[in-house]
Amino acid sequence: MPSVIGISPCRLLADYVESVRRAGGEPRVLDIAAEPPAQVMTAINGLLLPGGADIDPAWYGEEPSATIRLAEAGRDQFEIDLARLALAANLPTLAVCRGLQVLNVAAGGTLLQDIRSQIAGALDHSVETPLYAIAHEVWVSRGSRLWTLLQEKLTESEVCQVNSRHHQALKQIAGGFEVTATAPDGIVEAIERPDAKFCVGVQWHPENFWRTGEFRSLFEGFVAACE
């Protein structure tokens, strides 16, 4: 029986579904209106928190800046509840872009509301098309779970080329997590919980590369942890 991977619904869903399938998992797109998070937890072997618009800054105790673009109604609550349940149950979790931000906020961290207006000299992290366009490199921490899974892709200096479609980023990292990749401008590009079965978040979009397989090992590592 393949592991059932719950995926929160989002606008660009197809590439997540295909990436999970190609890694041997069975994608199950969740229904925010019909399935309470506690019920979802009984039906999945792993959780994939995907990309999307911004989390309401009230979740981390800030007033919204002028650049905020809020996500669909109900999505913050649903995903933060799910992330907290998954953390408490040690359910394998892969978090992508907004998902990484949800994971961090759910665990008590905070966000930078807008990179461009808050970080002088930051790289361009909003390269929108094509979805797999390489935007910048990231430096991956040797010995991390992410490093282990991406080893074949990394250069000798642990560098990896990624796409980038985010205007927000992690600020304070939640307790229990480690930063495992950064962009050359210091923006956090990945975190993980070293003591979890599998709890990895990346700020880029590995799902957009399923045709060429650049990040298949990341999805395979995730699905394997869900067995």
* Minimum distance from residue 44 beta carbon to Mn ion (Å): 28
| Residue 128 annotated to the active site | no
* By CB under 5 A, residue 164 contacts Mn ion: yes
Following CA atoms 2, 209, 131, 156 in sequence, which dihedral angle do they give, to the nearest 10 degrees? 130
| Residue 97 annotated to the active site | yes
Three-class DSSP category at 110: coil
Q: Binding segment for Mn ion among 11-19, 66-74, 161-169, 216-224 (CB under 5 A)?
A: 161-169
Distance separating the N- and C-terminal Cα atoms of the chain: 9
* Minimum distance from residue 88 beta carbon to Mn ion (Å): 29
CB closer to Mn ion out of 125 and 193? 125
Q: What distance in Å separates the CA atoms of residue 12 and residue 16, rounded to the nearest whole number?
A: 8
Interface mask (CB under 5 A) for Mn ion, residues 116-135, using x and -?
---------x----------
Catalytic residue among 125, 136, 166, 205: 205
CB closer to Mn ion out of 104 and 164? 164
| Residue 207 annotated to the active site | yes
* Minimum distance from residue 163 beta carbon to Mn ion (Å): 8
Q: What distance in Å separates the CA atoms of residue 106 and residue 90, rounded to the nearest whole number?
A: 14
Are 167 and 126 in contact by the 8 Å Cβ rule? The answer is yes
Q: Which tokens belong to 115?
A: 């990179």
* Minimum distance from residue 221 beta carbon to Mn ion (Å): 21
Q: What distance in Å separates the CA atoms of residue 6 and residue 23, rounded to the nearest whole number?
A: 14
| Amino acid at the residue 24 | G
* Minimum distance from residue 165 beta carbon to Mn ion (Å): 8
Catalytic residue among 10, 97, 160, 226: 97
CB closer to Mn ion out of 110 and 164? 164
Three-class DSSP category at 138: strand
CB closer to Mn ion out of 106 and 169? 169
Q: Residue 144 carries which DSSP code?
A: S
Task: Give the footprint of Mn ion on residues 35-74 (CB under 5 A).
Answer: none
Residue 194 makes CB contacts below 8 A (sequence gap 6+) with 144, 145, 178
CB closer to Mn ion out of 12 and 224? 12
Q: Residue 126 carries which DSSP code?
A: B
Q: Which residues are catalytic?
A: 97, 205, 207
Give the interface with Mn ion as residue ranges (CB under 5 A).
Answer: 125, 164
